[in-house]
Amino acid sequence: MSQIIYNSFDREVHPAYLTPEYKSTIYRAPQKPLVLLKQSLSELTGPVFGDFNVGPLDHDLTKNTVKNGEPIGERIIVHGKVMNENGYPVPNTLIEIWQANSAGRYVHKVDQHEAPLDPNFLGAGRCMTDSDGNYKFYTIKPGAYPWGNHYNAWRPNHIHFSLFGANITNRLVTQMYFPGDPLLDYDPVFLSVPPKGRELLICKFDLGATEPSFALGYRFDFVLRGYKQTPFETL
């Protein structure tokens, strides 16, 4: 007999709670030590994804909210595989994404950046991974935008991702960046990731996934927390 124990967050690649260069962490990062929790039923199960009603165009941000035409900007494909640390694919799991439009403007009402909104682009989408853990989105390449963290602060081009995985320990919210972006060297959110983890957040240009005369392809794979099998303790 054996039991499965899910791995903790790998602190060599995840950012610390407190990274003062990213100013919002200063009054929001927990300060007291976390209490280590033995995993029980609630940690080892997740939402019932069959209940999620993902629409047929939800994965295509170039089409899912059009009003009177096509969204402006460079069409791209973002695809990849969701796996766990053990190397197994994570099938039938929900992925949600949100992003700025090609001008670097978020639809969100608190975004005050004076760049144009695009009536045909909301910037939100979602899909389920297939039986091999693969996913694919069509979208518009997001623009860079300024933010108030420090003088002349600009966020690099990025897409936000939310993933569920097999259970609550697998939950991941992150941001995907693009290769060769000069703003990465100046972004305290990206730089809060230890050096070993940074490459893991940058997608790769993928000519094989590029659709001729239509859209450039990028590949971005996810690795969620894995597990160890250990013999049951006999008391």
Partner 1 sequence: MRQTPSQTVGPYFAYGLTPEQYLYDFKSLVGNEMVSPLDHDRAITIVGKVFDGQGVVISDAMIEIWQNDGQNQLFGRFGTGTDAESRFIFHTIKPASVNGQAPYLSVIIFMRGQQIHSYTRIYFSDETDLNTKDAVLSLVPEDRRDTLIAKNKGNIYEFNIYMQGENETVFFDI
Q: Does 230 bind partner 1 (CB under 8 A)?
A: no
Q: Taking CB under 8 A as the criterion, which residues in 68-127 touch partner 1?
A: 83, 85, 87, 94, 96-98, 100, 106-108, 110-111, 122-126
Whether 186 sits among the annotated catalytic residues: the reply is no
Q: Does 34 bind partner 1 (CB under 8 A)?
A: yes
- What's the first-to-final CA gap in the chain, in angstroms? 14
Q: Taking CB under 8 A as the criterion, which residues in 166-195 touch partner 1?
A: 168-169, 171-175, 189-190, 192-193
**Nearest CA-CA partner of 65 in 20, 28, 120, 21:** 120
Q: Does 235 bind partner 1 (CB under 8 A)?
A: no
Candidates 65, 120, 134, 210: give the one binding partner 1 (CB under 8 A): 65
Q: Does 197 bind partner 1 (CB under 8 A)?
A: yes
Confirm if 84 and 165 have CB atoms less than 8 A apart. yes
Whether 79 sits among the annotated catalytic residues: the reply is no
Confirm if 23 and 147 have CB atoms less than 8 A apart. no
Task: Pick the piece of the chain touching partner 1 (CB under 8 A) from 23-31, 70-78, 129-137, 203-211.
Answer: 23-31
Q: Which of 59, 79, 105, 155 is catalytic?
A: 155
Distance CA 10, CA 13 (A): 6
Q: Which of 75, 160, 198, 219 is catalytic?
A: 160
Contacts 24+ apart (CB under 8 A), 207-215: 209/77, 209/79, 210/77, 211/77, 214/75, 215/75, 215/76, 215/77, 215/138
Handedness of CA 204, 206, 209, 211 (dihedral sign): positive
Candidates 41, 69, 131, 229: give the one binding partner 1 (CB under 8 A): 41
Q: Which of 145, 177, 218, 227 is catalytic?
A: 145
Q: Does 228 bind partner 1 (CB under 8 A)?
A: no
Nearest distance in Å: CB 21, partner 1 = 11
**Which pair of tokens denotes residue 144?**
């860079």
Whether 158 sits among the annotated catalytic residues: the reply is yes
**Which pair of tokens denotes residue 101?**
């439009």
**Which pair of tokens denotes residue 187?**
């972004």
Q: Taking CB under 8 A as the criterion, which residues in 124-143 touch partner 1?
A: 124-126
Whether 22 sits among the annotated catalytic residues: the reply is no
| Catalytically active residues, by annotation | 106, 145, 155, 158, 160
